[in-house]
Amino acid sequence: MTQRLCFADAGEAADLAAFLARLIHYDRAAAVRLQAGGGVLAVFGRPPSFEVLAVRTARLAEKTGPLDVTVSAGRLTDELDAGRPVPGNGVEIGVPETVTGPPWAGVLPPRGGWQRVEGFPGPEAVRGAVAAAVAEFRARDEALPEQRRTRAERDRIGREIWSRTLGDTGLPLRAVHAAQSLGFLRGPRPDNGAAEPPVLFTARGWLRLRTPYGSIAVSTGGGLRDLTVTPA
């Protein structure tokens, strides 16, 4: 029997679909890990080149049972597009068949023990830091002589810029860039009108940038490629 997910309302399903579309933009073969329980679905994905984990949550109807699977982001999007309306403005979908998870899917951030990092810059300063880094990359790329304008040289410049940290927070700029690219650094949510600022947390070798639209988690031990695959 196909497992089912029932979202609390249509808006939750639509927000998740938008997140998946951004992931697929960076990787058409993207996979996501789904964990459901306690009325919440957490969706983990890894946009290529950023070396971070992106996390999007959605509210579920209480009747939805526990779930922990890795599936194709594209197939999950198809299921959301074909979602069946249910009473109370909810949406029900089928869970796609599981896929062999990439290594990162077995290395998720801890579920608890997070402590807030004080002194994190406000939204405008964060967006400004990303804009400055993007402008620097473009300027340095344009300044390269033709014989050095190679993918390897551009990657070297990108690694240098995006490995820098945001002020004294220890958070690499690539994490903030990922948050902006995935739509996590937008303005106030239309459903509450409040401009919740991004907040930084730390726990056991991880940093997590939380915003009203999703979170970005990054290992402080050298990047996801250096981690050992263990059950979450």
* For range 133-137, the mean pLDDT: 96
* For range 48-75, the mean pLDDT: 90
Helix (H) / strand (E) element for 86: namely strand 84-86
Residues 119 and 95 in one domain: no
Mean of the per-residue pLDDT values of the chain = 89
Residues 93 and 168 in one domain: no
Q: Tell me what pLDDT residue 190 has.
A: 57
Residues 119 and 221 in one domain: yes
Task: Identify whether the C-beta of residue 13 lies closer than 8 Å to the C-beta of residue 20.
Answer: no
Residues 101 and 19 in one domain: yes
In a domain, 217, yes or no: yes
Residues 138 and 222 in one domain: yes
Task: Identify whether the C-beta of residue 95 lies closer than 8 Å to the C-beta of residue 5.
Answer: yes
Residues 185 and 216 in one domain: yes
Q: Tell me what pLDDT residue 109 has.
A: 94
Domain boundary among 50, 78, 106: 106
Residue type for 218, please? V
Q: Tell me the per-residue pLDDT of 6-52, one tens digit each, with 9 for 90 and over.
A: 999 999 999 999 999 999 999 999 999 999 988 999 999 999 888 89
Name residue 206's beta-bridge partners: 203, 219
Nearest to 12 by CA among 213, 216, 204, 209: 213
Residues 40 and 72 in one domain: yes
Q: Which domain holds residue 91?
A: 4-106
Residues 66 and 152 in one domain: no
Q: Tell me the per-residue pLDDT of 155-165, one tens digit each, with 9 for 90 and over.
A: 999 999 999 99
Task: Identify whether the C-beta of residue 41 lies closer than 8 Å to the C-beta of residue 5.
Answer: yes
Helix (H) / strand (E) element for 158: namely helix 151-162
Residue 188 pLDDT class (50, 70, 90 cuts): low
In a domain, 166, yes or no: yes
In a domain, 218, yes or no: yes
Residue 66 pLDDT class (50, 70, 90 cuts): confident
Q: Tell me what pLDDT residue 228 has.
A: 32
Residues 219 and 149 in one domain: yes
Give 168 or 75, the one with higher predicted confidence.
75
pTM attached to this predicted model: 0.88
Residues 160 and 182 in one domain: yes
If one counts the domains in the chain, the total is: 2
Residues 75 and 33 in one domain: yes
Residues 79 and 141 in one domain: no
